[in-house]
C-alpha cells in the first residue's frame, strides 16, 4: 500500500475515533437521533476502510476481520438504541464507549503495524549523460523494500534564437541496462501523485539553449507531489562566502536563483560550504527574514556525482573496441590516458581563438600519441548551445570534430557515460567545469587550459 493511501486510511480511522466521542456524548445527553446518525457514519467509514485494505493488501488481512467485527458492533448498538433495548444515559454512554473504543484500538494498531506504507518515488532526468547526479539516490530507493522507484526520462527541446522550441529529444533508450525505464507518457502524475519526485534540471523556461517539456517544469511538478527535490546536475568548486568577490557572488546567483531551487520543497547540495553560499545568496535576494526557510530547504547531503565517480573502477568498465587501439600499444602496454574536456563557455567567450587552441592541443597530443592517448569529451550541450547562439562558429567546430574523428589517433567520447571517461583517465586537461571537481575527488591530477597562452604565443611568432 502506498504511504499516501495508508495516510488516507489513518485519517478515516481518526475520524471514526472522533465520531465515537460524539456518540458517547449524544447517548449521555439522550440525543438518540444524533447518536444513530453518527453510528451510521462510523459504519460507512469502517466499510470504506475495509474495502480499501482488501483492494490494496488482498483478502484476509487481520485489520479487515476487526473492521467486520466493528461493523457488527455498530449495527448492534444502532438496533438497541433505536428499539429502546439500550436506554440512553450515562451508563449506556460508558458501555458504548468501552465497546467501540476497545475494538477501535485493535483496528488502529493493526493498520499501524500490519500495513507497511510504501513510498512511490519518481526520478525525472532529462539527459542520460547527467543521470549520475541522481543514480545513487535511485539505487537506495530501488533497494528499499518499502519503496517503489520509477525512472522516467523526460523529453527536452532545443531552443531557436527567438526562444521558440526546436527539435525534440528523448534519451530514454540511452540509460544503463540495469536501470528500468518507465515511458513518460505511461505514468499519470495526476492520478498517481508520487510521494517524492527528484529532478536535476532547475531552469524551467529560463534556459536560452534547451527546455525540458513544460509539464516537467518544477513550477508544475510540485502540484503533483508532496515533496519535489532538486539535485543539481553539476558540482562546483568550494567557495568561501566570507572571501568571495562580488563577481563570484553574481556567478553563483545563476545557480542559486533558479526555479528548481525556488519551486522545490528541498534542494540537495554537495557540502555545508555550498549550503552557506546558497542560503546567503537567497537571503540577499529575497530578504534575511526568510533565512529559517532556506536553512530548512537546502540540505548539504553531498552530490550523487561524487558517489558515482568514486564507486566506478576501471576494471569494471566496458571499453569500446574502437578505443583499444588508441589506448594500447602494439606490445599490449597501456598508454597514459589524458581526459580532454572542452566546455560551452570557452567557445562562446573565445570563438575562433578557442578553435585554434583546440587545434594546437590536438597537434601536441598527435605528436605524443605513442606515449599518451587523448580522450576528448566535449560538454553535452555544445551542439545545442553553439548551433543556436553561434551558427557560423558551429560549422567550423563541426568540421574540427569531423577531422579529429576521421584521423582516429585519439578518442572522441560523446556518450552519456561520463564516469567511464573519469575511471579511465590518468590526468585531466581542459576547461574548468564540474568535471575538474569530480577528477579531484577521484584523485586525478588536473590542469586547466588557458586559451590566451596560444594567443600570446602566436603574437610572438608573428614578430
**CATH number of the domain where residue 296 is located:** 3.40.50
Asked whether residue 231 falls in the same domain as residue 330, the answer is no
Q: What share of the chain is helix, strand, coil (3-state, %, to 5)?
A: 60, 15, 30
CA pair distance 424, 272, nearest whole angstrom = 30
Higher pLDDT, 115 or 170: 170
CA pair distance 76, 304, nearest whole angstrom = 59
CA pair distance 25, 238, nearest whole angstrom = 63
Boundaries of domain holding 350:
316-461
Residue pLDDT, tens place only, 19-70: 999 999 999 999 999 999 999 999 999 999 999 998 888 888 999 999 999 9
Please report, for residues 109, 127, 212, the alpha-carbon distance to residue 220 in angstroms, rounded to integers and kept in the order given: 37, 19, 12
Asked whether residue 64 falls in the same domain as residue 193, the answer is no
Asked whether residue 204 falls in the same domain as residue 95, the answer is no
Q: What's 371's DSSP letter? A: T
Asked whether residue 247 falls in the same domain as residue 275, the answer is yes
Last residue of a domain, one of 114, 130, 165: 114
Asked whether residue 201 falls in the same domain as residue 342, the answer is no
Asked whether residue 149 falls in the same domain as residue 263, the answer is yes
Work out the average pLDDT over 399-418: 94
CA pair distance 103, 99, nearest whole angstrom = 7
* pLDDT for res 354: 94
Last residue of a domain, one of 85, 114, 143: 114
Asked whether residue 281 falls in the same domain as residue 350, the answer is no
When the pLDDT of each residue in the chain is averaged and rounded to a whole number, the result is 92
Kindly report the pTM of this predicted structure.
0.73
Asked whether residue 70 falls in the same domain as residue 175, the answer is no
CA pair distance 373, 336, nearest whole angstrom = 6
Contacts of 291 (CB under 8 A, 6+ apart): 279, 283
pLDDT score of 455 more than 60: no
Q: What's 313's DSSP letter? A: -
Sort residue 229 into left (φ over 0), alpha (ψ -120 to 50) or beta: beta
Asked whether residue 325 falls in the same domain as residue 301, the answer is no
**129, 144 contact by CB (below 8 A):** no
CA pair distance 422, 238, nearest whole angstrom = 20
Asked whether residue 92 falls in the same domain as residue 139, the answer is no
**CATH number of the domain where residue 82 is located:** 1.20.120
Last residue of a domain, one of 285, 307, 329: 307
Assigned C-alpha cell, 242: 566570507
Residue pLDDT, tens place only, 89-146: 999 999 999 999 999 999 999 999 888 888 999 999 999 999 999 999 999 999 998 8
Asked whether residue 57 falls in the same domain as residue 202, the answer is no
**208, 389 contact by CB (below 8 A):** yes
Instruction: Report how many domains make up the chain.
Output: 3
CA pair distance 132, 422, nearest whole angstrom = 12
Residue pLDDT, tens place only, 247-256: 889 989 999 9
Query: What stretch of H or E contains 101?
Result: helix 90-114
Asked whether residue 320 falls in the same domain as residue 446, the answer is yes
Residue pLDDT, tens place only, 66-80: 999 999 999 999 999
Amino acid at each position: 500500500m502506498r504511504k499516501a493511501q495508508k495516510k488516507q486510511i489513518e485519517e478515516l480511522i481518526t475520524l471514526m475515533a472522533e465520531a465515537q466521542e460524539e456518540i458517547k456524548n449524544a447517548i449521555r445527553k439522550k440525543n438518540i437521533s444524533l447518536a444513530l446518525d453518527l453510528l451510521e457514519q462510523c459504519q460507512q467509514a469502517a466499510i470504506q476502510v475495509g474495502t480499501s485494505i482488501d483492494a490494496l493488501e488482498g483478502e484476509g488481512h487481520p485489520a479487515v476481520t476487526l473492521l467486520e467485527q466493528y461493523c457488527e458492533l455498530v449495527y448492534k448498538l444502532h438496533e438497541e438504541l433505536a428499539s429502546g433495548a439500550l436506554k440512553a444515559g450515562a451508563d449506556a454512554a460508558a458501555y458504548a464507549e468501552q465497546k467501540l473504543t476497545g475494538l477501535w484500538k485493535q483496528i488502529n494498531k493493526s493498520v499501524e503495524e500490519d500495513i507497511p506504507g510504501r513510498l512511490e518515488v519518481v526520478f525525472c532526468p532529462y539527459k542520460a549523460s547527467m543521470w549520475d547526479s541522481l543514480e545513487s539516490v535511485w539505487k537506495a530507493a530501488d533497494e528499499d523494500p518499502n519503496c517503489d522507484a520509477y525512472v522516467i526520462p523526460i523529453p527536452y527541446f532545443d531552443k531557436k534564437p527567438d526562444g521558440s522550441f526546436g527539435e525534440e529529444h528523448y534519451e530514454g533508450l540511452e540509460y544503463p541496462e540495469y536501470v528500468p525505464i518507465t515511458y513518460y507518457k505511461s505514468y499519470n502524475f495526476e492520478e498517481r501523485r508520487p510521494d517524492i519526485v527528484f529532478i536535476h534540471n532547475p531552469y524551467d523556461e529560463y534556459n536560452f539553449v534547451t527546455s525540458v517539456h513544460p509539464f516537467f517544469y518544477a513550477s508544475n511538478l510540485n502540484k503533483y507531489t508532496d515533496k519535489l527535490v532538486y539535485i543539481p546536475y553539476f558540482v562546483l568548486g568550494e567557495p568561501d562566502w566570507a572571501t568571495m568577490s562580488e563577481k563570484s557572488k553574481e556567478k553563483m546567483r545563476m545557480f542559486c536563483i533558479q526555479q528548481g531551487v525556488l519551486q522545490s520543497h528541498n534542494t540537495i547540495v554537495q557540502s555545508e560550504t555550498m549550503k552557506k553560499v546558497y542560503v546567503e545568496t537567497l537571503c540577499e535576494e529575497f530578504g534575511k527574514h526568510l533565512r529559517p526557510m532556506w536553512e530548512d530547504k537546502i540540505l548539504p547531503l553531498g552530490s550523487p556525482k561524487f558517489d558515482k565517480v568514486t564507486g566506478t573502477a576501471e576494471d569494471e568498465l566496458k571499453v569500446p573496441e574502437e578505443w583499444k587501439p588508441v589506448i594500447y600499444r602494439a606490445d599490449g602496454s597501456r598508454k597514459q590516458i589524458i581526459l580532454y574536456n572542452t566546455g560551452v563557455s570557452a567557445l562562446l567567450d573565445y570563438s575562433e581563438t578557442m578553435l585554434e587552441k583546440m587545434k594546437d592541443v590536438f597537434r601536441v597530443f598527435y605528436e605524443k600519441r605513442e606515449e599518451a592517448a587523448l580522450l576528448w569529451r566535449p560538454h553535452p550541450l555544445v551542439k545545442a548551445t553553439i548551433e543556436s547562439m553561434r551558427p557560423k562558429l558551429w560549422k567550423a567546430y563541426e568540421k574540427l570534430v569531423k577531422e579529429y574523428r576521421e584521423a582516429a589517433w585519439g578518442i572522441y567520447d560523446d556518450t552519456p557515460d561520463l564516469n567511464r571517461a573519469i575511471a579511465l583517465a590518468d590526468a585531466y586537461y581542459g576547461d574548468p567545469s564540474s568535471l575538474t571537481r569530480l577528477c579531484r575527488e577521484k584523485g586525478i591530477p588536473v590542469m586547466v587550459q588557458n586559451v590566451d597562452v596560444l594567443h600570446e604565443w602566436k603574437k610572438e611568432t608573428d614578430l
